[in-house]
């Protein structure tokens, strides 16, 4: 297991998330839980939704094993790049002209004036998707060469762009701030593309693409593209499910009290920090390595990497889950309770965060086992699993939203996370899972979690009294 690469990737993600938190602090300070903050979050969520489905999700999961197996990597990469760029460019033009129907899907409970105002922000933000696809494509080439730092660090550029906009317009009216943030998102995407192009040039990977342009007609390239399609379309289905769940939560939150959309957004931001630092960083690093091992029929090496990563994630995510649950209120107070973000908003967000934290461990481990399925070219199986998860989490969202509000939506997502983990392990193989957990580390994990729980509970009891007196 490439621990150095994992920690490098985690460090880059950490810096990115820290700047993201600074951005969110400034955002809440400038806008509070206002209507313009809710509108910007909805507009910003749309390109992120498509980014995770197409660019960073389905594309990467299908492209990496296909690229590893390709006999004509330059031609294959160029052909796939052109197809996606042209599609996304056309989609962005359509959204720019007709932004309101798509916006309405995200915020069905809003009136026509609010949808109209949000639609303009949606049209601006959506162009970020074009840039982030280029970033994802170039990042996949860098991952093939075991280079992860540029991609992990490049999100800082997006955050810096948004922070600069907030600092410059922080004293302006909320509408101006929302527009400034939207344009800064597009500028941040452009900066990320430039950073990746520079690294591609330094590692001489541009020669692959140049070769692809020169020799477009190669035997068997059409067959390779068909194989990519067979992986990509199930990946779209699989990656759409969790994003549709997030979309449904936002949609349902628009029917709840004002601030529910913001509470879900900011609580999820905290939840995503340990998930990205630990689980996503590990799965990203292992994905090309496991893909190469399975291509050469070296299942022993693939299983070894899976086992080591499992215990690393289990201990780290378990501690983060318990700490995040018990220390939710102090964490939200420290990060967000400034300016227009009141104590009541902070407490509501903390309760939502606790419900998200219940699902941290299963979501993280599911990332790991799903990575193994993708490396094994079992994209269709992975897609079916997440569809089942979507159905179950959606049912619980509808059941829990009335009695629990935004907390119920977050808890429904966590329930779906446990379902996702169980079904994914079943597909990978319970025998493999039993071999992994048949270790003294299992007892050590249980004991350490009990100790962590006692410690974090005691710390929280003291901190809550201190910050509220």
pLDDT at position 234 over 90: no
pLDDT at position 220 over 70: no
Report pLDDT for 364: 87
**Token pair for residue 158?**
């997006």
Higher pLDDT, 463 or 55: 463
Question: Quick one: average pLDDT of 24-42?
Answer: 78
Q: What is the spatial distance between Cα 359 and Cα 468, in angstroms, rounded to a whole number?
A: 28
Report pLDDT for 339: 62
With pLDDT > 90 as the criterion, what percentage of the chain qualifies? Answer: 15
Report pLDDT for 469: 61
Q: What is the spatial distance between Cα 25 and Cα 181, in angstroms, rounded to a whole number?
A: 14
Say which range, 17-21, 229-233, 381-385, 386-390, has the weakest mean pLDDT: 229-233
**Token pair for residue 332?**
């939200």
Tell me, rounded to whole angstroms, the distance of Cα 369 from its chain centroid. 16
Say which range, 25-39, 294-308, 317-331, has the weakest mean pLDDT: 294-308
Q: What is the spatial distance between Cα 196 and Cα 66, in angstroms, rounded to a whole number?
A: 21
- Per-residue model confidence as pLDDT tens digits over 418-438: 999 999 999 888 888 888 888
Residue with tokens 């509408």: 175
- Per-residue model confidence as pLDDT tens digits over 363-414: 888 888 887 777 777 777 877 888 888 889 889 989 998 888 888 999 998 9
What is the H or E stretch that residue 379 is in? helix 379-404
Contacts of 306 (CB under 8 A, 6+ apart): 286, 290, 368, 369, 372, 432, 436
**Token pair for residue 45?**
């969520």
Higher pLDDT, 298 or 443: 443
Per-residue pLDDT band for 194 (boundaries 50, 70, 90) equals: very high
* Pick from 161, 280, 143: nearest CA to 200: 143
Q: Where in the chain are the domains?
A: 3-467
Residue with tokens 């059941």: 399
- Per-residue model confidence as pLDDT tens digits over 305-321: 777 788 888 888 999 99
Report pLDDT for 182: 92
pLDDT at position 90 over 60: yes
Report pLDDT for 169: 87
Q: How far is CA 116 from CA 43, 94, 106, 348, in A?
A: 11, 16, 13, 29
Contacts of 287 (CB under 8 A, 6+ apart): 64, 143, 371, 374, 375
* Pick from 319, 269, 302: nearest CA to 48: 269
Per-residue pLDDT band for 184 (boundaries 50, 70, 90) equals: very high
Q: What is the spatial distance between Cα 370 and Cα 389, in angstroms, rounded to a whole number?
A: 13
CA torsion angle 245 132 137 58 (round to 10): 10
Q: What is the spatial distance between Cα 211 and Cα 229, in angstroms, rounded to a whole number?
A: 22
- Per-residue model confidence as pLDDT tens digits over 344-362: 777 888 899 999 999 999 9
Q: What is the spatial distance between Cα 125 and Cα 186, in angstroms, rounded to a whole number?
A: 6
Q: What is the CA angle 72-90-192, rounded to 5?
A: 65
Say which range, 9-23, 240-254, 261-275, has the weakest mean pLDDT: 240-254
The full 3-state SS of 69-130, as one line of letters, equals HCCCHHHHHHHHHHHHHHHHHHHHHHHHHCCHHHHHHHCCCCCHHHHHHHHHHHHHHCCHHH
Question: Quick one: average pLDDT of 293-311?
Answer: 74
CA torsion angle 308 309 311 314 (round to 10): 180
How big is the chain by its Cα radius of gyration, in Å? 22
Whether residue 141 contacts residue 1, with contact meaning beta carbons closer than 8 Å, is answered with: no
Say which range, 135-139, 178-182, 191-195, 307-311, has the weakest mean pLDDT: 307-311
pLDDT at position 164 over 90: yes
Q: Alpha helix (H) ranges present in 218-342?
A: 221-253, 260-274, 281-295, 299-326, 328-336
Higher pLDDT, 415 or 80: 415
Question: Quick one: average pLDDT of 17-21?
Answer: 80
Report pLDDT for 207: 73
Q: What is the spatial distance between Cα 332 and Cα 263, in angstroms, rounded to a whole number?
A: 10
Characterize 373-406 residue by residue with b for buried, 16 or more Cβ atoms within 10 angstroms of its Cβ, and e for exposed.
Answer: bbbbbbbbbbbbbbeebbebbbebbeebbeebbb
Q: What is the spatial distance between Cα 410 and Cα 29, in angstroms, rounded to a whole number?
A: 24
Report pLDDT for 350: 87
Report pLDDT for 211: 57
**Token pair for residue 22?**
């600074």
Q: What is the spatial distance between Cα 306 and Cα 428, in angstroms, rounded to a whole number?
A: 11
Question: Quick one: average pLDDT of 14-43?
Answer: 79
Which own/partner contact pairs does 87-91 have at CB distance under 8 Å and 24+ positions apart? 88/54, 88/129, 88/130, 88/133, 89/130, 91/129
Residue 441 burial (CB < 10 Å; 0-12/13-18/19+)? middle
Q: What is the spatial distance between Cα 367 and Cα 435, in angstroms, rounded to a whole number?
A: 19
């Amino acid at each position: 297991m490439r621990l150095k690469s994992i920690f490098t990737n985690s460090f880059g993600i950490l810096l990115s998330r820290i700047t993201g938190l600074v951005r969110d602090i400034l955002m809440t300070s400038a806008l509070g839980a206002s209507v313009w903050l809710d509108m910007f979050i909805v507009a910003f969520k749309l390109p992120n939704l498509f980014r995770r489905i197409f660019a960073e999700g389905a594309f990467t999961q299908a492209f990496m094993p296909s690229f590893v197996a390709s006999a004509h990597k330059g031609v294959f990469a160029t052909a796939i790049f052109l197809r996606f760029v042209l599609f996304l460019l056309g989609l962005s033009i359509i959204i720019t002209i007709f932004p309101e129907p798509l916006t309405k899907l995200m915020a069905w409970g809003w009136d026509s004036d609010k949808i109209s105002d949000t639609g303009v922000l949606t049209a601006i933000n959506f162009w970020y998707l074009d840039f982030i696809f280029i970033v994802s494509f170039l990042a996949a080439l860098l991952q093939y060469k075991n280079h992860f730092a540029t991609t992990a660090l490049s999100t800082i550029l997006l955050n810096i762009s948004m922070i600069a906009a907030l600092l410059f317009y922080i004293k302006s009216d909320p509408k101006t701030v929302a527009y400034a943030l939207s344009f800064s998102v597009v500028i941040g995407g452009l900066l990320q593309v430039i950073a990746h192009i520079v690294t591609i040039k330094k590692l001489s990977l541009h020669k692959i693409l140049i070769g692809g342009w020169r020799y477009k007609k190669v035997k068997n390239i059409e067959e390779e593209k068909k194989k990519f399609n067979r992986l990509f379309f199930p990946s779209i289905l699989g990656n759409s499910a969790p994003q549709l769940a997030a979309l449904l939560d936002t949609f349902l939150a628009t029917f709840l009290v004002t601030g529910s959309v913001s509470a879900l957004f900011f609580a999820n931001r905290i939840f995503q920090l340990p998930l990205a630092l630990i689980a996503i960083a590990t799965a990203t690093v292992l994905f090309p390595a496991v893909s190469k091992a399975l291509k050469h029929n070296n299942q022993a090496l693939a299983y070894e990497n899976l086992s080591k990563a499992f215990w690393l994630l289990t201990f780290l995510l378990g501690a983060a889950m318990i700490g995040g649950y018990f220390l939710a209120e102090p964490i939200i107070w420290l990060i967000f309770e400034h300016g227009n973000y009141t104590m009541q908003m902070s407490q509501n967000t903390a309760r939502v965060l606790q419900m998200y934290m219940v699902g941290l461990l299963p979501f993280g481990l599911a990332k790991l086992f799903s990575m193994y399925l993708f490396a094994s070219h079992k994209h269709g199986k992975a897609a079916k699993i997440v569809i089942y998860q979507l159905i179950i989490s959606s049912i619980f969202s509808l059941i829990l939203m009335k009695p629990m509000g935004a907390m119920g939506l977050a808890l429904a997502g966590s329930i779906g996370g446990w379902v996702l983990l169980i079904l994914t392990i079943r597909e990978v193989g319970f025998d493999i899972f039993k071999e992994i957990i048949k270790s003294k580390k299992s007892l050590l994990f249980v004991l350490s979690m009990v100790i962590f729980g006692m410690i974090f509970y005691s710390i929280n009891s003291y901190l809550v009294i201190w910050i509220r007196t």
